[in-house]
Chains A and B, each alone.
Chain A
């Protein structure tokens, strides 16, 4: 037997897991045999992002535990087993299943439970809470039969729960006892602005309501009766009226607990028993329960430090500032939001037209920021938070920090102004100093920095700041961040786009003569070709543009490994009639092409030689097909599910919309390929959330998602706007795409484009939806030009003798390329492998 001590952790929630992860990263782990009890049927998961469960994130994706974590670190996990009693004299823990473990050290990480007010009828059917995955499953089940859902409690969590009900397609109400929403974090004006925004989203808000009884409803399962005599019929009642620490175990074994609950801990996170610690939402420090994850993580790290014998690293309270997106509305609250400090001065800015409310609370001498409230626009959050947390002196006119500014002025706090101790990532407690050390050690990309320090991998709120710290450090080290497109142009793609637009440049040679040097190369030529096309949309095989195109564009088909091409006709929305399908099959058969269905719901025909391309297209065009632009960096497909025309669950006609969108944007040249999809309901069969532009039908209109992608580095799309009518939807996509085409780097998918944008998604919304840069009209016009000048590139090509001349392998002979050799496999052709070339069995080229 080893002489290891036993350490037992009760609760494997967010904080319990963070404790385990911090412990196994520390050398003291070798001194302990670690055991943990997990009451829930699955190990720790991300409760903070719980609501994303409704937008398609699976329980597995929410997990905070890497596969094999417990085995690898030799941690005994008792899953689905609850610690039932603690015997402090015998130093044992006994579980519901009867397992009894003797401990040397015990850590309580039991979290909290949702408080359900003792209203008569609170335990009726479909009266639910919002804390675990099981709770969510119960909600989803109840939503299937119900039509109306009501959240009791208009705090942070209540609003999030309301969003979930809304996403489930229910008529949604919020009932709040206080006179305003988010009373803890917001002042009156902020609460009022938030209310207006939320009501616009179709949620009905009732404030100042005291529920006195829940009973049988007439139209709905339940009826809520309020103290003022009013009533509300609802199927689901979702309690979100605050949390209560789970201190029952501690109480029963005589540990000290607070008057209103919570296990009392000191600065080392020790309870009244020196061998027992408590961390997370069950712990009461200095009379406070922290209902946020970051303070819990700080407590977890304190305990690890304490076990290491590092008694200086104690818990000293935590900042309760928060920034969140509630139903698409940005809300942030920092420090003393209510201006309760002595002598505090307030600056506020209210813009009813744009629905923005901002408030700064500063010290009497106007030198320091004490608190802030932001509603409707919270991009200044991280800057303000840094001012507040680090006691950085404010600029002379603090109001500039909340007044709207033009995009070219920067009022942000430069990373250089921050002290090394400034905490950049509060989820993982990463300071600027720590980032700088990692950068010096060679982490020179955002990804490397994230991996090595974990910064920006929690809530992600700090990623913009992280990037600017990185850039400024690199600049200091003399590492030049070269953004030139290539050796021929000392400009970024975005700058070149502006030059082309402003100077009305129409050819590569003009642009090169005016702003570049040398002959160009395979990087700048296609880039400029694409810019010219998105601006002027001339046929890409015009003499001036011809040498610019990548080979795929150059022959309007996709080159395969043996130099032959594949052909992809457009099949809008993936809808194709039997006749068209037969026509396609006949062409494939006649030219002996290999046929395969693509991921974008079309048919790819492989193995066409150069000379066959025009012949094939002649037949395809005669049959009614047009170019699918699969060869270009351009809109590929708008995938769709079958939608409300056929599907039992369909809410709207996804196919018609997909066809309309594909016809609208076909031929649009862009920095990289663009994929779209439309699903007829939230079951999401078209996988729209994995696309650059994804649309999902809901009862209230179309929900628009942007910047997702599959491929090498999949990214889930972000919800951009909700409940749109078709006209607004199309307008928004017009602007979004035009802005992308204008400002993205070469070969930058929308996801990376957005992630690299300062201000990220919020900034993008302000430009596209709120028209912050005043560009909207231009962007729409730019798109209209492209739409108006659309041509099927293949149709134009086969009608023009001079363009056809190039479609021969040899300029001076009708012979074909003898290096192109096919063999047969499963009844179709494929290119011969090297080892087969010397053998027989070769199929003649047509």
Chain B
């Protein structure tokens, strides 16, 4: 993994999102303190509304998928796969994200479904899943 240090956990908003500039990319980071993973990161650009706003959406779950609802037109994006629930052909990038020693870190190389990433990294502890 190539983690980039982003900010402190105290900069995050509980059960809500913020946007970070990481390696020139706009990344939306969501913080769910009660959740097993705690943090999720996806691209901040809403491909339907065509604006950098996803970090400002409401998060929740729909039929078991953790999602953010676009603040513009309310489509849901799966935080773990980046897929739009209303239109599976529309996706946003998903980045690896973790909390380490009170710091939030993102790996922007990984434009891959996070679920796949988690499975691979927990099963094999291997580094660098290619895109």
Cβ contact within 8 Å between B59 and A817? no
Cβ contact within 8 Å between B61 and A518? yes
Complexed CA–CA distance, A518 and B32 (Å): 13
Interface-centre pick from A561, A563, A809, A813 (highest chain B CB count, 10 A): A563
Given A487-B63, A518-B60; A812-B53 close (CB under 8 Å): no
Chain B residues with CB below 8 A from A546, complex form: 13-16
Cβ contact within 8 Å between B21 and A810? yes
Cβ contact within 8 Å between A521 and B56? no
Cβ contact within 8 Å between B61 and A811? no
Cβ contact within 8 Å between B60 and A810? no
The residue from A521, A549, A562, A817 contacting B60, defined by CB atoms under 8 A apart: A521
The residue from A487, A521, A547 contacting B16, defined by CB atoms under 8 A apart: A547
Chain B residues with CB below 8 A from A819, complex form: 45, 51-52
Chain A residue at minimum C-beta to C-beta distance from B17? A547
Chain B residues with CB below 8 A from A555, complex form: 56
Chain A residues with CB below 8 A from B66, complex form: 519
Interface size for chain A: under 10, 10 to 19, 20 to 34, or 35 or more residues? 35 or more
The residue from B7, B18, B57 contacting A551, defined by CB atoms under 8 A apart: B57
Chain A residues with CB below 8 A from B60, complex form: 488, 518-522, 524-525
Complexed CA–CA distance, A554 and B68 (Å): 15
Chain B residue at minimum C-beta to C-beta distance from A806? B13
Chain A residues with CB below 8 A from B45, complex form: 819
In residues 527-571 of chain A, which contact B (Cβ within 8 Å)?
543, 546-552, 554-555, 559, 561-563
Q: Kindly provide the distance from the CB of A557 to the nearest chain B CB, expressed in whole angstroms.
A: 11
Mostly, the B contact residues are strand
Q: Kindly provide the distance from the CB of A652 to the nearest chain B CB, expressed in whole angstroms.
A: 43
Q: Kindly provide the distance from the CB of A832 to the nearest chain B CB, expressed in whole angstroms.
A: 11
**Quick check: is B72 within 8 A (CB to CB) of the other chain?**
yes
Could you mark each residue 58-76 of chain B with 1 if its beta carbon is under 8 Å from any beta carbon of chain A, else 0?
Answer: 1111110011010110100
Complexed CA–CA distance, A811 and B72 (Å): 21
Cβ contact within 8 Å between B11 and A805? yes
Cβ contact within 8 Å between B21 and A521? no
Cβ contact within 8 Å between A561 and B21? no
In residues 34-77 of chain A, which contact B (Cβ within 8 Å)?
none
Q: Kindly provide the distance from the CB of A723 to the nearest chain B CB, expressed in whole angstroms.
A: 45
Could you mark each residue 559-602 of chain A with 1 if its beta carbon is under 8 Å from any beta carbon of chain B, else 0?
Answer: 10111000000000000000000000000000000000000000
Interface-centre pick from B15, B22, B45, B59 (highest chain A CB count, 10 A): B15
Chain B residues with CB below 8 A from A815, complex form: 21
Complexed CA–CA distance, A819 and B6 (Å): 21
Chain A residues with CB below 8 A from B6, complex form: 811-812
Cβ contact within 8 Å between B51 and A525? no
In residues 88-146 of chain A, which contact B (Cβ within 8 Å)?
none
Q: Kindly provide the distance from the CB of B64 to the nearest chain A CB, expressed in whole angstroms.
A: 8
Complexed CA–CA distance, A17 and B7 (Å): 74
The residue from A547, A552, A806, A812 contacting B59, defined by CB atoms under 8 A apart: A547
Cβ contact within 8 Å between A559 and B71? yes
Given A550-B58, A559-B71, A562-B51; A810-B20 close (CB under 8 Å): yes
Given A550-B71, A561-B72; A521-B53 close (CB under 8 Å): no
Could you mark each residue 31-68 of chain B with 1 if its beta carbon is under 8 Å from any beta carbon of chain A, else 0?
Answer: 01000000000000100011111001111111100110
Chain B residues with CB below 8 A from A488, complex form: 60-61
Cβ contact within 8 Å between A519 and B56? no
Complexed CA–CA distance, A552 and B18 (Å): 15
**Quick check: is B92 within 8 A (CB to CB) of the other chain?**
no
Complexed CA–CA distance, A495 and B88 (Å): 35
Chain A residue at minimum C-beta to C-beta distance from B11? A811
Complexed CA–CA distance, A548 and B15 (Å): 9
**Quick check: is A16 within 8 A (CB to CB) of the other chain?**
no
Chain A residues with CB below 8 A from B63, complex form: 487
Cβ contact within 8 Å between A521 and B72? no
Cβ contact within 8 Å between B13 and A521? no
In residues 791-824 of chain A, which contact B (Cβ within 8 Å)?
805-806, 809-813, 815, 817, 819-820
Cβ contact within 8 Å between A551 and B19? no
Chain B residues with CB below 8 A from A526, complex form: 58
**Quick check: is B26 within 8 A (CB to CB) of the other chain?**
yes
Complexed CA–CA distance, A802 and B40 (Å): 23
Cβ contact within 8 Å between B51 and A561? yes
Chain B residues with CB below 8 A from A551, complex form: 53, 56-58, 71
**Quick check: is A834 within 8 A (CB to CB) of the other chain?**
yes
Complexed CA–CA distance, A239 and B56 (Å): 66
Q: Kindly provide the distance from the CB of B49 to the nearest chain A CB, expressed in whole angstroms.
A: 7
Given A547-B59, A812-B6; A806-B18 close (CB under 8 Å): yes
Cβ contact within 8 Å between B15 and A563? no
Q: Which residues of B contact A (CB under 8 A)?
A: 6-7, 11-16, 18-22, 26, 29, 32, 45, 49-53, 56-63, 66-67, 69, 71-72, 74
Seed contacts A520-B61, A551-B53, A813-B20; 13 additional CB < 8 Å A-B pairs: A519-B32, A521-B69, A547-B13, A551-B71, A559-B72, A563-B49, A563-B52, A563-B56, A810-B20, A811-B19, A812-B6, A812-B7, A817-B52
Q: Which residues of A contact B (CB under 8 A)?
A: 487-488, 518-522, 524-526, 543, 546-552, 554-555, 559, 561-563, 805-806, 809-813, 815, 817, 819-820, 834
**18 intermolecular pairs with C-beta atoms under 8 Å apart:** A488-B61, A521-B69, A522-B57, A525-B60, A546-B13, A546-B14, A550-B71, A551-B56, A559-B56, A809-B19, A809-B52, A810-B26, A811-B29, A812-B6, A812-B20, A812-B21, A817-B52, A820-B52
Instruction: List 6 tightest A-B contacts by C-beta distance, closest first.
Output: A551-B71, A521-B60, A547-B15, A522-B69, A563-B51, A547-B16
